[in-house]
Amino acid sequence: MKHKRLCEPEFGKKGNYTIILPIDQGVEHGPHAAFYATDHPEMLDVDYQVDYIAELLQEGLVGAAALPQRTTNLLKFWYPHLAKDIIMKLNHGNNLNKDLAPTQALYSSSYHASDLGGVGYTIYPGAPDQDDMINHFGRIQDCKPDNVKSILWSYPRGGEFNPISLETTMHAAYIAAQLEPDVIKVKLPEYDNIADLCIRVDRVVKSACGIPVVFSGGPWRRTEKILMEAEAISKNGGYGMIVGRNVFQRKRDEGKNLLRDIHKVFRES
Ligand code: FBP
């Protein structure tokens, strides 16, 4: 399979794949946990961070970067030729107050993304505010320019259920598919009654009704584990991976090597 960048016309089509770098964890988890308290604390410095993202894009190690508004605008200002590789994340949650019901606030609009490659948006199926999040995404789909792709994060949370069981993840993918984004992003369903990860990936991909699915990387884990997941995703119809912490929380060269190894797995599938 061939790697495609967001700016390429074949992005999202069957027979190729993409690896996306999300760096919105500074908002979601805070810059201390996301950047400073890691093996790659230089990431706290936004000048360094923007150069690093540009380097990964220019070296073809990632096909797009999903970023909050401020990082988007800095990257676009310093590296205007990379604008079509940027997915601007329009809404965010944060984990500061764990007593609040999970929700997402709007930080930007598709109007501000008209010269970019895509917009990213999160819905939390199962949360008290789920209808507001879903309704708003419908409006984004109606208003965004046709050449700006939409990537929908569908993360169930907020109720008395396991947010990453297979059944819940299939439901998240199916709900997301009815909104017809260009790409759906879900978490990799964890082991429940189906031990085989390949079967779990296959069922989630089928639940997305033909819309390409990328699976998220999750918190820092061993390289072998990530590569084992990459293989299950690539061999069972997944469109790719969206890997943040597992890349940028490793030392610079280790993160790049992990990306090279993930590409090797997808290329050879
Ligand atoms: P990671 O590869 O770091 O898991 O990033 C994917 C992502 O969806 C980010 O876009 C988002 O900030 C984060 O996961 C949310 O993680 P969590 O659900 O653990 O708060």
> Which of 213, 216, 242, 243 maximizes ligand 1 atoms within 8 Å of its Cβ, making it the mutation to test the pocket?
216
Proportion of the chain above pLDDT 90, given as a percent: 97
* pLDDT value, residue 140: 97
pLDDT in tens, 8-49: 999 999 999 999 999 999 999 999 999 999 999 999 999 999
What is the spatial distance between Cα 103 and Cα 95, in angstroms, rounded to a whole number? 10
Residues 96-119: what's their mean pLDDT?
A: 96
pLDDT in tens, 77-100: 999 999 999 999 999 999 999 999
148 alpha carbon – ligand 1 mean position (Å) = 22
What is the spatial distance between Cα 120 and Cα 134, in angstroms, rounded to a whole number? 13
* pLDDT value, residue 193: 79
| Closest CA to ligand 1's atom 8 | 216
Instruction: Please give the span between the terminal C-alpha atoms of the chain, in angstroms, as a whole number.
Output: 7
pLDDT in tens, 160-208: 999 999 999 999 999 999 999 999 999 999 977 788 999 999 999 999 9
229 lines ligand 1 (CB under 6 A): no
Ligand 1 atom closest to Cα of residue 155: 18
What mean pLDDT is reported for the chain? 97
What is the spatial distance between Cα 215 and Cα 187, in angstroms, rounded to a whole number? 5
Q: What's the pLDDT band for 236 if we cut at 50, 70, 90?
A: very high
Which value, to the nearest 10 degrees, does the dihedral of the CA atoms of residues 96, 70, 136, 155 take?
A: -50
35 lines ligand 1 (CB under 6 A): no
Other CB atoms closer than 10 Å to residue 231's CB: what's the count? 18
- DSSP-derived 3-state class of residue 119: strand
- DSSP-derived 3-state class of residue 198: helix
What is the spatial distance between Cα 185 and Cα 18, in angstroms, rounded to a whole number? 12
Residues 230-246: what's their mean pLDDT?
A: 98
Rounded to two decimals, the pTM is 0.97
93 Cβ neighbours under 8 A, 6+ residues apart = 28, 102, 103, 104, 105, 122, 124
93 lines ligand 1 (CB under 6 A): no
Residues shown for the chain: 269
Ligand 1 atom closest to Cα of residue 66: 10
88 alpha carbon – ligand 1 mean position (Å) = 15
